[in-house]
Structure 1
Amino acid sequence: MVMKMTNTYPYKIAALYRFVALSDIPALKDRVAAECTRLNICGTLLIAPEGINGTIAGAPDDLDAIVDFLDGLFAVRQGELKYSHASDKPFKRMKVRPKKEIITMKQPDADPTKLVGTYVAPKDWNAIISDPDVVVLDTRNQYETAVGTFRGAVDPKTEFFTEFPDFVQKHLDPAKHKKVAMYCTGGIRCEKASSYMLSQGFEEVYHLKGGILQYLEDVPAEESLWDGGCFVFDQRVAVTHGLKEGTWDICLGCGHPLAPEEHAHEAYEAGVSCSHCHEGLSEERRNMLRQRHNFLIRERGEGTRA
């Protein structure tokens, strides 16, 4: 599925993935890296025997050119491909990495190239998750769910996606939980999670096609069952309905996303700490972060000068 956006912003962003069987990963990595360098693309792409996954950005024409290139190699337009935009450069550099998996789960039975759950289009998602017989699972990590989630969803409170299978084994039972619906940011984690759950005997497994990002693009805010923002892995931090940039930022002490009102917390110190990490920071670490923050302020020319 391809989602397009027209805009006048200087940077165009493509979030993409496709599960597809690949071989000769080192050669593919070198070809992709060379083309990204030629087109001044920034971001990260992961290439593995199970497919390709990543988010990249560049000037609109250059971004379109690299997507054409990737489509020729991986048929990315047959997978998930979402466009958005940003006023500032979203990534500092370009990284193309060969991996064992494009989304790490460490479960050999989870193979989306062979077995996946039932895709649910965003327009049909509200009906699915409003069914009282459906267990709605957020397959993202806890720092992401803190920014926003679907109403009534179960938060596994994982730190890493590799912990999701353990949550399933401890808290879900195919004999009791007949219907399960899952979602994630762009669709890749819930697609792989659906493959895992089917391999474990769950029979009726649904996942949101295109993920939260597609839902926020397609479903009007007044009809939405989504609360908050959707955490994204770039300098925008989070987006809201219509994929508009949100008002969250990142604590430089721990990397936790922060809502504007969290700046008023007594534990918040710009560039140093927040309520999530204040107590665990050593004085040495705190001083180092202060020095870095002050250096960055001077580099940007902010603040007063004598």
Structure 2
Amino acid sequence: MMTTKHEEEYGVLLYYKYATIPDLHHLHSFYDSNCHSLSLVGRVRISPTGVNVTVGGKLSALKKHIDDVSSNSLFEGTDFKLASCSEPDSNTRVANECGFTTLSIRIVKELVTFSSFPLLKSPEISNAGKHLSASEFHSVLQNAGNFGETGKVGYPKKVMLLDARNMYETRIGKFQNPMVETLDPEIRQYSDLPSWIDDNSHKLEGSCVLMYCTGGIRCEMASSYIKSKGVGFENVFQLYGGIQRYLEQFPDGGFFRGKNFVFDHRVSVGSSNASILGTCLLCDLPYDDYSPRCRCTHCRMLVLVCNNCQVYEMEKNTTYVCELCKKTGNDVPLLPLIGSGEIEQEISIGTEPEAVTTSNRTECLPQLTRVEEITMPSRKLRILCLHGFRQNASSFKGRTASLAKKLKHFAEFIFIDAPHKLPFIYQPSLSQQIQPPPSNSCNSKFAWFVNPDFISESDNRDWNMSGCPFDPLQFMQQTEGFDTSLAHLKNLIAQTGPFDGLLGFSQGAAMTASVSALRGQLKGEIDFRFVILCSGFAINLSDQDLGSIDCPSLHIFGSEVGKDRQIACEASRELVSLFDPGSAVIIEHEFGHIIPPRSPYLDKIKDFLKRFL
């Protein structure tokens, strides 16, 4: 059969379905086989309670995928939202950030992370707000001022619009009706919404609440959470199919103004007469394009910066601060840098000019006569450092000495030993001539995670010969011991804390990532503002959804060129995907299993740390 030109066009398909999945791995195998055979890219998330899918490909392939999925009774009644669009350029930053250059299929605990902390009572999806079609939603808004007078059954007189999306999404498009109050929670991420609902429940009580989001999935959990509050919160409704279905029904925009932010390479989608609702963060002129991916220096949330301001501010090396960080007082001036971005010597008042080596020349610093002429941080950041497998605090301190020296004006590194003491093991040489070193000349080695059959070597200092060659993939089998390590950290932090951040190297990074995943639950016991993960990988985090770890993070690892022989770059990239992309920073280098203490990598590390000074 001949393929038409229209069928060869590119498209994006979005759908979700809440249903009990009897066999997660079987469904995973189906998606893996089906999507690869159809050359689809994007994200597939499978949980015990359903699926959430955003994929792109040829329209003919997407239609075939819909047919294949629809043949499974689990997906009966699924709303498949298919839209034609231009094919993404795999070389663009937008396509790479949105995951539209590869296919990612994962089994997760939640389809969308509704809360970053444990709720007293998790909402039941069966109690979600009633679905309103686009035309029904439009009709309610159109007649919002008449409910009290006409006595319509089931609707209170007061109608409220509730936007369940993130702040950067609402800045470029939202529903507007002068007869209806619109509540914008102004949240950084969806997991902040429950707290906002708790704090503002008085505004919702007794009202007809109309909720909306991009495609509908975020309203499912959020509407259920509102209804779980009981009497006065019964009248909660949600826009079926989200803004996307509404704009299809009302191509002129209807009550929606601006553009609909989408999480794929299209960035945003507007109506036939979409107005520009957003404004530039700096000059306040109309602007609504997130394609440049400008982000807040402090929290990494997307911000709108027009092209003219980008060019102008780039020349001044200006940083961006979002509205939320300004409200919370994070718009503090950052530490000015000298030369190549590194302060090489202590600055004292009234000294003679001193020679300082920069990246390509030697300069003389002028004499300083006033303290105001240079701004030093009021205090250094305290960073707790977690070593790698078969290391200890002393050896890790030595390995990072150069980095610590170059960051001494920013941060203080504190090193600790892991709790699991390892046996002394050596690999015999081929000639069998070399004897192991005497144990009394060696420091003990430790680990954060160990093999399931691990036996502690508390006081045994005898050397044992390895029964097999060292396995570079041994870290994949070291999955036990987290509870002991967590208790160890709690105790040490109680004695030596507080700390601004955690830095983990290799297995220490895996431990740091696991702690980050529990950040909300550990509040008050292990508090920190950021993490630095070097040559990291994930252990026991298979139930974490993409971007679900809500913690500012810096990821440093060897690129493919670097050929890290201990931890493959793919493992580190997989770990990155678990962190909120809005606050994750990546540094890839070419030097293998190390933390490179040189430019340009050092400058990027400093840029990250300066956000927390």
TM tier relative to shorter chain: 0.7 to 0.9
In 2, distance between residues paired with 1:102 and 1:124?
A: 27
| Per-residue deviation, residues 209-256 of structure 1 (Å, max 9, x unmatched) | 1100011110141x6111110000011100012699x97233334276
Residue number among 189, 195, 204 corresponding to 2:218 in the alignment: 189
**Alignment check: 8 A CA contact 1:268 1:275 kept:** no
SS of the residue 2:236 aligns to: strand
In 2, distance between residues paired with 1:8 and 1:65?
A: 11
**Alignment check: 8 A CA contact 1:147 1:257 kept:** no
In 2, distance between residues paired with 1:190 and 1:212?
A: 11
Range that drifts further, 68-77 or 250-259: 250-259
The runs of at least 4 consecutive aligned structure 1 residues that moved more than 4 Å come to: 6-9, 255-259, 266-270, 272-285
Give the letter for the 1:141 counterpart.
N
Map 1:228-239 → 2, pairs under 5 A: 228-239=258-269
In structure 2, what is the equivalent of residue 109 of structure 1?
A: 122
| Per-residue deviation, residues 52-71 of structure 1 (Å, max 9, x unmatched) | 11211111221122222222
Instruction: Decide whether aligned partners of structure 1 residues 37 and 200 sit closer, same or farther in structure 2, where only a CA change above 3 A counts.
Output: same
Cα deviation for residue 276 of structure 1 reads 4.6
In structure 2, what is the equivalent of residue 216 of structure 1?
A: 247
In structure 2, what is the equivalent of residue 100 of structure 1?
A: 109
Give the letter for the 1:231 counterpart.
F
Q: TM-score if structure 2 supplies the norm length?
A: 0.41
Give the letter for the 1:196 counterpart.
Y
Map 1:1-306 → 2, pairs under 5 A: 7=6, 10-73=9-72, 75-76=74-75, 78-89=77-88, 91-106=100-115, 109-112=122-125, 114-129=126-141, 131=144, 133-151=158-176, 152-173=181-202, 176-201=205-230, 202-221=233-252, 224-241=254-271, 248-254=289-295, 262-265=306-309, 269=314, 275-276=320-321
Cα deviation for residue 156 of structure 1 reads 0.4
In 1, distance between residues paired with 2:38 and 2:66?
A: 11
**Alignment check: 8 A CA contact 2:113 2:190 kept:** yes
In 2, distance between residues paired with 1:214 and 1:153?
A: 20
Give the letter for the 1:101 counterpart.
E
Cα deviation for residue 129 of structure 1 reads 3.5
Instruction: Decide whether aligned partners of structure 1 residues 77 and 275 sit closer, same or farther in structure 2, where only a CA change above 3 A counts.
Output: farther
Cα deviation for residue 80 of structure 1 reads 2.1
**Alignment check: 8 A CA contact 1:12 1:60 kept:** yes
Give the letter for the 1:211 counterpart.
G
Give the letter for the 2:189 counterpart.
F
Instruction: Decide whether aligned partners of structure 1 residues 115 and 263 sit closer, same or farther in structure 2, where only a CA change above 3 A counts.
Output: same
Cα deviation for residue 206 of structure 1 reads 0.7
SS of the residue 2:168 aligns to: helix
Cα deviation for residue 99 of structure 1 reads 0.9
Cα deviation for residue 40 of structure 1 reads 0.7
**Alignment check: 8 A CA contact 2:66 2:80 kept:** no
**Alignment check: 8 A CA contact 1:9 1:86 kept:** no
SS of the residue 1:182 aligns to: strand
**Alignment check: 8 A CA contact 1:217 1:242 kept:** no
In 2, distance between residues paired with 1:78 and 1:273?
A: 50
What is the RMSD of the two structures over their aligned residues, measured on CA atoms?
Answer: 3.5
| Per-residue deviation, residues 1-40 of structure 1 (Å, max 9, x unmatched) | xxxxx95773121110111111321232122112211211
**Alignment check: 8 A CA contact 1:23 1:49 kept:** yes
**Alignment check: 8 A CA contact 2:12 2:54 kept:** yes
Instruction: Decide whether aligned partners of structure 1 residues 225 and 68 sit closer, same or farther in structure 2, where only a CA change above 3 A counts.
Output: same
**Alignment check: 8 A CA contact 1:47 1:53 kept:** yes
Q: TM-score if structure 1 supplies the norm length?
A: 0.79
**Alignment check: 8 A CA contact 1:251 1:273 kept:** no
In 2, distance between residues paired with 1:34 and 1:84?
A: 23
SS of the residue 1:78 aligns to: coil
- Structure 1: unaligned runs, 5 residues or longer: 1-5, 292-306
Give the letter for the 2:141 counterpart.
I
Cα deviation for residue 269 of structure 1 reads 4.4
Instruction: Decide whether aligned partners of structure 1 residues 38 and 281 sit closer, same or farther in structure 2, where only a CA change above 3 A counts.
Output: farther
Instruction: Decide whether aligned partners of structure 1 residues 219 and 33 sit closer, same or farther in structure 2, where only a CA change above 3 A counts.
Output: same
Give the letter for the 1:122 counterpart.
A
Instruction: Decide whether aligned partners of structure 1 residues 77 and 24 sit closer, same or farther in structure 2, where only a CA change above 3 A counts.
Output: closer
SS of the residue 2:20 aligns to: coil
Cα deviation for residue 109 of structure 1 reads 3.0
In 1, distance between residues paired with 2:334 and 2:66?
A: 42
In structure 2, what is the equivalent of residue 3 of structure 1?
A: none
SS of the residue 1:104 aligns to: coil
In 1, distance between residues paired with 2:15 and 2:219?
A: 14
**Alignment check: 8 A CA contact 1:252 1:273 kept:** no
In 1, distance between residues paired with 2:28 and 2:334?
A: 39
**Alignment check: 8 A CA contact 2:293 2:303 kept:** no
In 2, distance between residues paired with 1:161 and 1:205?
A: 18
Give the letter for the 1:10 counterpart.
E
In 2, distance between residues paired with 1:175 and 1:58?
A: 41
- Structure 2: unaligned runs, 5 residues or longer: 89-94, 146-157, 277-287, 323-330, 342-553, 555-586, 588-599, 601-613
Give the structure with the larger helix fraction: 1
Instruction: Decide whether aligned partners of structure 1 residues 59 and 9 sit closer, same or farther in structure 2, where only a CA change above 3 A counts.
Output: closer
**Alignment check: 8 A CA contact 2:7 2:60 kept:** no
Instruction: Decide whether aligned partners of structure 1 residues 237 and 128 sit closer, same or farther in structure 2, where only a CA change above 3 A counts.
Output: same
Which is bigger in relative contact order (C-alpha 8 A, separation at least 6)? Answer: 1
Give the letter for the 2:241 counterpart.
G
